[in-house]
Structure 1
Amino acid sequence: MHETHQGPCGSHSAGRALVIRIKKLGYFWPNNDRDCEQYSRRCDKCQRHAPSIHVPAETLSSISSPYPFMRWSMDIIGPMVSSGPKQFQYLLVLTDYFTKWIEAKPYQQTTELEVRKFIWKDIICRHGLPFEIVTDNGSQFIARTFKDFCKKWNIRITYSTPRYPQGNGQAEATNKTLLSNLKKRLDARKHRWSEELAAVLWACRTTPTKATHETPFSLAYGLEAVIPTETSVPSLRRMQCPANVELNEEMLRDHLDLIDERRDQALIRIQNYQQAAARYYNSKVKHRRFHIGDMVLRKVQDYTKEPVQGNLGPIGKVPTSLPK
């Protein structure tokens, strides 16, 4: 096995391939399948250079919100191409878990002070005090002054697991949407992304989401926003309501009376969407159990790679014992 697996002609093949290769050479012994599997699993070089495991080890845990603007996700996009006279390079983004309403603002540098100002002006003063903000472990978010600010307003901060962006999935989904829309609008004018940001946010707020089947604007305000399509090709409300005060008031009353029902339906759709996503995700789960004292390989991060090794360096470093 040693010669076939890692000898001069060995390719460090996995257990099944190792068994087949040995059998083709004409060798056989009882339990050779099990022996080859165990040998390849215990090979130090195979473990250090094996690709990262992407199969989920635990079931999906979803985060929801029972009413608008209760829970927000927060993240920073950047650095990006410098944009505008002020040379903006970063984008601070917050997303409401219920309505999917997005608030975002460009910055030269996203300091802790700028984050506090943004939450005060664009979140608290516009949408009220949130119950919770979910974010990553960025230096701006773990600063003592930021924690004191949230404590002052009774805002709970929940931090996602370091080096695991899926822990703040709502923020990652919003970032993907914003960047995709900006790319399609800018073409070769990448330095103008800060100028197009307002239009992208408007488009996101007036587009139905997959989870709720409603627009963030309608879940927040109770009726749909008037978009340019309704002015170029007048809709029914554009033709009738401005000229008929009574009809306009009746329509507004109907929308306000139905807003609670629409939000309840949106909440049910969100829960159904999350359950469907969880069923799909959990079907791929392969549980891995570890105990204190087990020897594991610590993954090599980009900032810990040795430059001289380049892409030929190992995936895992020296074996480490799991601490208490």
Structure 2
Amino acid sequence: PKWKWEKITMDFVSGLPRTPSRYDSICVIVDRLTKSAHFLPMKKTDSIKKLAQLYLKEIVCRHGVPVSIISNRDSLFTSRFWKTLQEALRTQLNLSIAYHLETDGQSKRTTQTLEDILRACVIDFGISWDRHLPLVEFSYNNSYHVSIKATPFEALYG
């Protein structure tokens, strides 16, 4: 990637304890250049329309329309609605091949880091992990990444 938020990856962390707000999943969206990420709480039963609304609000409105998205083959990412939306935005969709690091390694590493942070804080967070997700995102984006020799926040904002 040459530009920030030009190429992104998307994945889900699922199987989390259900919060009082009924969230049980997190949509993980990562910029491939700066490694900056957004962690969006979701419900496993959320529709593609809900994902699209979150995506437009949290990604497109903040960072612009990406040129490409790498994602796994989750049914939300392979739906006709999602494909049509991305086609209208002129965003290329690339569906990863399972366990193929060149296509889905970025999001898998970030997802693993997110899971490690949540696991380390589960005693303090309890079932209200969703209320603390913005601080988890802040912590991740302000942690040094060897691959970019900076924090994602520094890479994104200077």
Partner Cα separation in structure 1 for residue 145 and residue 99 of structure 2: 25
Instruction: Identify the residue that residue 259 of structure 1 maps to in structure 2.
Output: none
Q: CA deviation at 1:195?
A: 1.6
* Aligned equivalent of 2:28, options 81, 93, 101: 93
Deviations 1:270-304 (A, max 9, x none): xxxxxxxxxxxxxxxxxxxxxxxxxxxxxxxxxxx
Deviation at 1:110, TM superposition (A): 3.5
Q: Deviation digits for residues 108-132 of structure 1, max 9, x if unmatched?
A: 2342112211221111100011100
Separation in 2 of the partners of 1:160 and 1:173?
Answer: 14
Instruction: Report how far residue 186 of structure 1 moved.
Output: 2.1
TM-score, normalised to structure 2's length? 0.92
Query: C-alpha deviations, 1:11-42, integer Å up to 9, x for none?
Result: xxxxxxxxxxxxxxxxxxxxxxxxxxxxxxxx
Contact 1:79 1:89 in 2 (8 A): yes
Structure 1 vs Structure 2 CA RMSD: 1.5
Specify the structure having the higher radius of gyration (Cα).
1
Match of 1:164 in 2: 99
Counterpart check, 1:123 vs 2:64: no
Residue of structure 1 aligned with 2:91, choices 138, 155, 176: 155
TM alignment of 1:129-148, pairs within 5 A: 129-148=65-84
For normalisation by structure 1, the TM-score amounts to: 0.46
Corresponding residue for 1:73?
Answer: 9
1:25 alignment counterpart: none
Letter in 1 for 2:25: Y
How high is the sequence identity, in percent, across the aligned residues? 23
Tell me, in whole angstroms, the C-alpha distance in 1 between the residues paired with 2:110 and 2:28.
8
Conserved 8 A contact 1:182-1:196: no
Structure with higher strand content: 2
Give distance in 1, aligned partners of 2:39 and 2:138.
11
Q: Do 2:125 and 2:132's aligned partners in 1 also have CA atoms closer than 8 Å? A: no
- Structure 1 runs not aligned, ≥5 long: 1-64, 223-324
CA contact (8 A) 2:29 2:107 kept: yes
Matches within 5 A, 1:91-240: 91-108=26-43, 109-161=45-97, 163-164=98-99, 166=101, 167-187=103-123, 189-222=125-158
Secondary structure of 1:103's counterpart equals strand
Q: Give the aligned length.
A: 156
Task: Report the 3-state secondary structure (helix = DSSP H, G, I; strand = E; otherwise coil) of the residue aligned with 2:23.
Answer: coil
Distance in 2 of aligned mates of 1:71 and 1:188: 34
